[in-house]
Amino acid sequence: MNLKSIITAASLALLPLSASAASLIVPVAGTGPGANGSQWQSELTLHNGGGSAIPASLIYHDGAGATAPVTISIPARATISLADVVKTKFGRETGTGAIEVVVADNLASRVAVTSRTFNSSPAGEFGQDIPAVKASDAAAAGDVTVLNGPSSAEAYRFNFGLYAVADATVTWELLRADGTLAATKAATYTGGTQTQYNGGISALFGVEAKNGDAVHANVTAGSAIFYGSAINNASGDPSFVPGVKTRQEIRINFNGVDVDEDGVVDVKDADRDGVLDGSIEIFTSMGFPNYFRVVASGENGEPATFEILDAGNDAMLIDNIGTISWAPSAAVRGETGSLKVRITAGGSTAVVTIPVNYR
């Protein structure tokens, strides 16, 4: 059991016995001095829209992992604000990380979580709101998150980072304003940790930042929440940059799925976004597995290799040409779902999504 699982189990123990937990993630919060004489702190605000008090746990995650949960109670229809929360609740004199708010799943819709991270200076306070994100809404394998950099690389420094909801593998890409791919970087992150790249273009990619840079975070395994911040060098005024999930044209010829293995692609990916254009039928009561073939190659016809990413649903790759055997449990009959497959060919890799209807 990893540290993330232990911390989550501890948080669940603090909730009512019948509750399962929901996590809301503030992807970045901090305290202490920053660049150019800035002084940072974060304020966490929680409102309870319900008619009775709601218990919650706060967990701080940084590059080293997670703290023990800090318990709080949000009174009925009331608001509480926690000033300099990283320092006052987690005892850090300096640091940057994420804050996880854990509440009972059936109470999560009654809780509003917001945060503000600001720079205090003789000229006043300059800050940014940083929204909380449901852990279930994190970017997953096959998703691409775009972080738009500032229009002036000279006037602003661009920090960005992520909170890894689960062990994650990310291929980062730096695209210049004219669409030129300037650099790539592959990295892995342990679930339950937070990583920030200050002056991220140079820190992560090792190249100089330019006007209108865009950073693409391609998740190839696991899940993560991405964010950015553009800080004016003269005033210290920050602007939050949300991570925007997009779909891209993949650099793999993902023709589609041959449902009955007769050599004909039955359901295609015509728009080349890595998501099958329709669903395939997967039967749960046949007494034997479903068989189908994923049809793909490199851009110039190179042979592909395949890897199933969510093997917990009883799907198995049975040969090297993309044939899959799948015998899901009858418990999912009538539901919808998806299968994600990593395809590598001709030096390129893509994660494709195959929507399914369980029959």
SS (H, E, C) the chain: CCHHHHHHHHHHHCCCCCCCEEEEEEEEEEEEECHHHCEEEEEEEEEECCCCCEEEEEEEEECCEECCCEEEEECCCCEEEECCHHHHCCCCCCEEEEEEEEEEHHHHHHEEEEEEEEEEECCEEEEEECCCEEHHHCEECCCEEEEECCCCCCCEEEEEEEEEEEEEEEEEEEECCCCCEEEEEEEEECCCCEEEECCHHHHHHCCCCCCCCEEEEEEEEEEEEEEEEEEECCCCCEEEEECEEECCCCCCEEEEEECCCCCCCCEECCCCCCECCCCEEECCCCCCCEEEEEEEECCCCCCCEEEECCHHHCEEECCCCCEEEECCCHHHCCCEEEEEEEEEECCEEEEEEEEEEEC
* Residues facing residue 168 across a β-bridge: 189
Considering the domain architecture, whether residues 284 and 207 belong to the same structural domain is answered as: no
CA dihedral 325, 332, 265, 144 (to 10 degrees): -100
CATH number at residue 160: 2.60.290.11
Structure-derived torsion over alpha carbons of residues 153, 247, 197, 122, reported in degrees to the nearest 10: 60
Give the model's pLDDT for residue 68.
95
Same domain, 75 and 106: yes
Give the model's pLDDT for residue 120: 84
Q: How many domains, in total, are found in the chain?
A: 3
Return the CATH number at 303: 2.60.40.10
One domain for residues 268 and 217: no
Of 165, 147, 150, 143, nearest in space to 242 by CA? 147
pLDDT given at position 4: 52
pLDDT at 250 (0 to 100): 82
Identify the domain containing residue 304 by its residue range. 253-358
| Residue 228: per-residue pLDDT | 97
Q: Is 329 in the same domain as 305?
A: yes
Q: In the prediction, which pLDDT does 203 show?
A: 98
Residue with tokens 């993902």: 254
pLDDT for 267-315, tens place per residue? 999 988 899 999 999 998 767 899 999 999 998 999 999 999 875 568 9
- 198, 220, 246 - which closes a domain: 246
Q: Does one domain contain both 212 and 317?
A: no
Same domain? 316 vs 225: no
Q: Are residues 71 and 111 in the same domain?
A: yes
Q: Cβ distance 303 to 343 under 8 Å?
A: no
Q: CA nearest 98: which of 34, 193, 187?
A: 193
Same domain, 27 and 124: yes
pLDDT at 341: 92
What residue ranges of the chain have pLDDT lower than 70? 1-19, 286, 311-313
Beta bridge partners of 222: none
Same domain, 325 and 242: no
Last residue within a domain, chosen from 195, 222, 246: 246
* Residues 180 and 196 grouped into a single domain: yes
Same domain, 120 and 177: no
- 283 burial level (CB within 10 Å; 0-12, 13-18, 19+): middle
Q: Whole-prediction pTM value?
A: 0.80
For residue 62, the cross-strand partners are 65
- Which of 246, 277, 296 marks a domain boundary? 246
Do 44 and 146 lie in a common domain? no
Neighbours of 320 (CB within 10 A): 10
